[in-house]
Amino acid sequence: MASKDSRFRDFEPVLPAYGGACIASVTPALLGVVSQGTEPPPDWLPEPARRASQIMLLVLDGVGWAQLQAEKQATPTIATGVGGPITSVVPTTTATALTSISTGLPPAVHGVVGYRLSVGVNGSGPEPDSARILNVLKWRTEDGDARRTFPPKEFQPVPAFDGIPAPSVTRADFAATGFSAAHLNGARIIGWQVPSTIVVEARRLLAEGSTFVHAYYDGPDKVAHEHGLGEHYAAELRTADRLVGDLIDVLPRGACLVVTSDHGQVEVGRSAELPANELLEASWLISGEGRFRWFHALPGAKEDLESAAVEHHGQKAWVRTLEQMQDENWFGGTLTKQVVSRLGDVALVAREPVAFLDPADPGETRLAARHGSLTEAEMYVPLLGFAPQ
């Protein structure tokens, strides 16, 4: 098939290790440890976490394994962690990955299969009047706040943390958002305004006897998007490293800090381009994001759309149809009709440091570093364990 043309394959996409060393497996494994289940911990779980009586899971947004290796001088504390790289999920985007971490499920099951998703496609024509693009992180469509139109807990009904009302220490600005309602469904959300609050809340919660505490810090991802992976990013990694050190200092005896991330990053800079006109003319809707761009084909135009994608962009991107992704298990299971309706027909999945723009989403032109694709830099993230000193 066109998208399998070996002329455009310098390396293969990194597929998630669903069911194994993948972020979708981390929370179930950790909860199994602290609940003293009968199943032995998996081999890929860091050794300090396998014997812990209490576990704090810290998710550092936008810190891939490759970025940590490149900035070891900025992260001396993180460098002492026991463990190594595991995979993220598809796509390597915050909305999907954070939902997999909290629910312990692959995207095919929880259904948050991207950042900008097609919703409300109920008609039979090529451009149903009800179709909208849902920005999952903002939980908004072009009509505004979508929490009533697309209730978050119906969109993603699986409870977080296996239904345990575990505390989640996250940025206060996010506490009441639709996305938090979706991916932290049922969790006890505790807001923070500055990073030091994460440390105070962690100490208090662990001292009170919480066996599992989840925390989220988004600084590295924000800096990478604004400034790229240069000196600003290194400075922010030093801040994240100090946060990890402060959290280790407040761990009680028998507890463990586990650090992971949702995805890595690729420096793109100004290498952003509009898709070729042939793709735009064969599509009635564009969704997804710059490094994982979906095209929704007009009736009868799917093959032309795929061919045009390979011809014009195959040197920089993997071109896949939704059916090919399902055959290759990109999403970790069989997609339901409802989940399929949230995706397009053909995708450009960036292989090179480039982003493919949506003319309807001009804000994306301002991002310096990006993620979403299946390169090593985006797919591999750390899973590191730290015991009290």
Per-residue pLDDT of the chain (389 residues; tens, 9 = 90+): 333 444 444 589 999 999 999 999 999 999 999 998 778 999 999 999 999 999 999 999 999 999 999 999 999 999 999 999 999 999 999 999 999 999 999 999 999 999 999 998 754 445 566 789 999 999 999 999 999 999 999 999 999 999 999 999 999 999 999 999 999 999 999 999 999 999 999 999 999 999 999 999 999 999 999 999 999 999 999 999 999 999 999 999 999 999 999 999 999 988 999 999 999 999 999 999 999 999 999 999 999 999 999 999 999 999 999 999 999 999 999 999 999 999 999 999 999 999 999 988 866 668 999 999 999 999 999 999 999 97
Considering just the CA atoms, what is the radius of gyration of the chain in Å?
A: 20
Domain with CATH 3.40.720.10 in the chain: 23-108+157-268+375-386
- Residue span(s) of the chain under CATH 3.30.1360.180 come to 2-10+112-147+271-369
Residue type, 325: M
**Separation of alpha carbons 64 and 370, rounded Å:** 12
> Between 231-249 and 219-227, two packed helices, what is the crossing angle to 10 degrees?
180
| Predicted local distance difference test score (pLDDT) of residue 366 | 80
Q: What are the E-state strand segments in 243-368?
A: 255-260, 266-267, 272-273, 283-289, 292-297, 317-321, 346-350, 355-356
Residue type at 54 in one-letter notation: Q
CATH architecture type of domain 23-108+157-268+375-386: 3-Layer(aba) Sandwich (3.40)
Residue with tokens 């969704």: 287
How would you list the strands of the sheet with 380-386, edge to edge? 82-87, 380-386, 255-260, 54-60, 212-217, 167-171, 188-192
Residue 31, both tokens: 């909860």
In sequence order, what E strands does 94-196 have? 116-119, 132-135, 140-141, 144-145, 167-171, 188-192
For residues 316 and 354, the answer to whether their CB atoms sit within 8 Å is: yes
Q: Which residues contact 258 (CB under 8 A, 6 or more apart)?
A: 26, 30, 46, 49, 55, 56, 57, 58, 383, 384, 385, 386
Which runs of consecutive H residues, i.e. helices, occur in the chain? 23-34, 47-50, 65-70, 94-103, 107-110, 152-155, 178-183, 195-207, 219-227, 231-249, 277-281, 302-313, 322-327, 337-340, 376-379
Question: What is the model's pLDDT at position 10?
Answer: 57
- The verdict on whether omega for the bond into residue 91 sits within 30 degrees of 0, i.e. cis, is yes
- CB 298: neighbour CB atoms within 10 A? 17
CATH domain 2-10+112-147+271-369 topology = Gyrase A; domain 2 (3.30.1360)
Could you give the CA distance from residue 109 to residue 224 in angstroms, rounded to a whole number?
A: 30
- Does this model's pTM top 0.75? My answer is yes
